[in-house]
Structure 1
Amino acid sequence: MSENVVCTGAVNSLKEVWEKRIKKYNEDLKREKEFQLKLVGIWEERVSLTKLREKVTREDGRVILKIEKEEWKTLPSSLVKLNQLQEWQLHRTGLVKIPEFIGRFQNLIVLDLSRNTISDIPRGIGLLTRLQELILSYNNIKTVPKELSNCASLEKLELAVNRDIRDLPQELSNLLKLTHLDLSMNRFTTIPPAVLNMPALEWLDMGSNRLEQLPDTIERFVNFRDNPLKLEVTLPPCESIDEEEERELFGLQFMHTYIQESRRAGNQVNCSTTLPNSVNADG
């Protein structure tokens, strides 16, 4: 009987030893894999950074990262080593997100990421106090963070053809230098109050949204063609290509005629008018 007890104890001890060895082996193997993955990651970061360095150019005294029609769905964190960049131009790269470390590029003046697949604007964008132009047209953005209002130098903001933006945070009225705003081809049903309170705004494109009417305070700078406005205002045929381009760019005559007709009609809807040959831009 005692021999059986001794034998069982020996087996259990041996089993315990082997279990410890197996556990240690698995832990060592896991650490080795993690180390290898880390090395691969470091190598890939270096390779990516080398490729990005090749895309850096100098134009008009600016240091520009320029990539066109080359796949870059994400940008490596090693990009922060190029923090002297003053302009990003990344078009048709398949970029899915603006990196969270964007706020570390304090020298950025222009951020042009149009024609990608970006769905969010990180809150860190507000750290770019020198940024003058933010161009994010032709993406998949749905909301705009209030932190964008901290970009005190911003003069130009383009969010056209994102198709799902419905409103802007009120804080954007603090963009005291913003003169150019393109919100065309989204889902706005009214002009956001933030826009109405932007003190320096000179040019606004609200074309191809879902606007049904305009506030009386809008008497300048807006293009709102191709919206379901309640008053039907039509334009006469253009006599030249230059005239058509100018009208599409500013929409000033169309806007003033609409406002004048809206005031004239009062509460009536479904009215129709034809734009006169010339309308005073001062209303």
Structure 2
Amino acid sequence: MTGVAVCSGSVSSIKSLWETRIKKTKQDLQKQQEQRAGVGRVRHNWEDRIILAKLKEKVVTEEGRVILRIEKEEWKTLPRALVHFPQLMEWQLHRVGLQTIPRFVSSFENLLVLDLSRNAITEIPKEIGKLTRLRELLVSYNRVQSVPEELGCCENLEKLELAMNRDLDELPSEISNLKKLCHLDLSMNQFTEIPESVVSLPALEWLDMGGNRLQSLPHDIHRMENLHTMWLQRNELEFLPDNICYMRSLDTLVLSNNKLHDIPSMMEDMNNLRFVNFRDNPLTYEVELPAAPKKSEDEEEDDREMFGRDFMRVYCQEARKRSNYTSELNVTLEAVAESAPLLLVCYVELFALLTVCFLLLPV
């Protein structure tokens, strides 16, 4: 019988050797992972440093204000590294392709001006409401579809521009909480009426809603007591409420390219109006203005624009004259209608008398 000699310690030695190798392999893998993580951290740190350096180049100080200014570069999103500049008071980012306003915008408590015009922003985050010192929010020429109710918490906001956002057609009622808002641009959107929240703004002085789809103006529009400029061109207005005559602060009113058929006669007495424009409306009456004196070449534009106001006054006078004539004609016709039965009786009696006389004639 042939036997095989096996060393009693060989199996345990081999097992120990493999365990040692496995342990060493795990340690090597762990070191490699740590090295990769370290490289990743270093790379991330370097990327942060590069971004911070790039952002630092965009930060300027003008008249005591720290401003982030970026124009005509590609910044679809803003890096969180921006929070390393908490002293920023203005953001001016134009034509950079920005798609979102970062939610960490609420970290910038000193922000006074947020100018993000001409980008691709689709949403204003609700965190905007935490910027209680904000004075100007400029988001015109973007793709904003709605405005968050939290914007009403920006108690110091004075200027709001949302022009040319195409699909924007309403504002939250909380906008009426902006007691200091004096400038509002909602032009070239899809509004069909002036929102009640806008009519309720106590300090509003300048309003542009041109290029919308307004079909009428609110009857209580005279509540806008401090409004001095109102742009309503290129809408679908067919008439004006009589109460517009009581807007005593209004000095500029643009109503060109609408569907107006008439002008309220009381507007003739709006002596506060410095400039008004009714051009390109299907008004009922055609009026001729007195020949204007020859203008000098150096005459100011404001003086030449008085033509619109003169037209309004002449039109109102003509409308009142025709209205009075129509009223007098109606009164005459009513008088004739009322006397018709009496005339009929007289005709009958006269006919009877003539008949009797005819019968009494000798044959």
Same fold (TM over 0.5): yes
Distance 1:141 1:36, change over 3 A: farther
1:3 is aligned to: none
2:238 is aligned to: 230
Q: Out of 217, 220, 237, which is 1:217 matched to?
A: 220
Q: Tell me which amino acid in the other structure corresponds to 2:237.
A: L
Q: Tell me which amino acid in the other structure corresponds to 2:76.
A: K
CA distance, structure 1, for counterparts of residue 193 and residue 28 of structure 2:
65
Percentage of identical aligned residues: 50
Deviates more, 1:44-53 or 1:123-132: 44-53
- SS of 1:167's partner is coil
Superposed CA offset, 1:32-83 (max 9, x none) = 7666555434332221111111111111211111111111111111111101
Q: Tell me which amino acid in the other structure corresponds to 2:104.
A: F
Distance 1:258 1:227, change over 3 A: closer
1:64 is aligned to: 67
Q: Computing the radius of gyration over CA atoms, which structure comes out larger, 1 or 2? A: 2
After superposition, residues 256-275 of structure 1 pair within 5 angstroms as 261=262, 272=283
CA distance, structure 2, for counterparts of residue 80 and residue 26 of structure 1:
37
RMSD: 3.4
- SS of 2:255's partner is helix
1:140 is aligned to: 143
CA distance, structure 1, for counterparts of residue 172 and residue 186 of structure 2:
14
Q: Tell me which amino acid in the other structure corresponds to 1:51.
A: K
User: More relative contact order in 1 or in 2 (CA 8 Å, sep 6+)?
Assistant: 1
2:337 is aligned to: none
Partners of 1:208 and 1:227 within 8 A in 2: yes
Partners of 1:253 and 1:278 within 8 A in 2: no
Distance 1:33 1:181, change over 3 A: farther
Q: Which ranges of structure 2 fall in alignment gaps of 5 or more residues? A: 1-14, 241-250, 266-280, 287-307, 314-363
Distance 1:56 1:191, change over 3 A: same
1:176 is aligned to: 179
Partners of 2:237 and 2:260 within 8 A in 1: no
Partners of 2:92 and 2:115 within 8 A in 1: yes
Q: Does 1:277 align with 2:310?
A: yes
CA distance, structure 2, for counterparts of residue 172 and residue 28 of structure 1:
58
1:252 is aligned to: 253
CA distance, structure 2, for counterparts of residue 252 and residue 157 of structure 1:
20
Superposed CA offset, 1:78-126 (max 9, x none) = 1111010111111011111111100110111111010111111111111
Partners of 2:233 and 2:254 within 8 A in 1: no
Partners of 1:225 and 1:251 within 8 A in 2: no
TM-score, with normalisation over the residues of structure 1? 0.74
1:126 is aligned to: 129
Partners of 1:131 and 1:151 within 8 A in 2: yes
Deviates more, 1:22-31 or 1:101-110: 22-31
CA distance, structure 1, for counterparts of residue 53 and residue 41 of structure 2:
18
Q: Does 1:55 align with 2:58?
A: yes
Superposed CA offset, 1:210-251 (max 9, x none) = 11111122244321111122249xxxxxxxxxxxxxxxxx85
Superposed CA offset, 1:19-43 (max 9, x none) = 9999999998878766655543433
Q: Which ranges of structure 1 fall in alignment gaps of 5 or more residues? A: 1-12, 233-249, 265-269
CA distance, structure 2, for counterparts of residue 167 and residue 85 of structure 1:
31
Deviates more, 1:47-56 or 1:30-39: 30-39
- SS of 1:187's partner is coil
1:106 is aligned to: 109
Partners of 1:216 and 1:259 within 8 A in 2: no
TM-score, with normalisation over the residues of structure 2? 0.59
CA distance, structure 1, for counterparts of residue 83 and residue 199 of structure 2:
37
State the number of aligned residues: 245
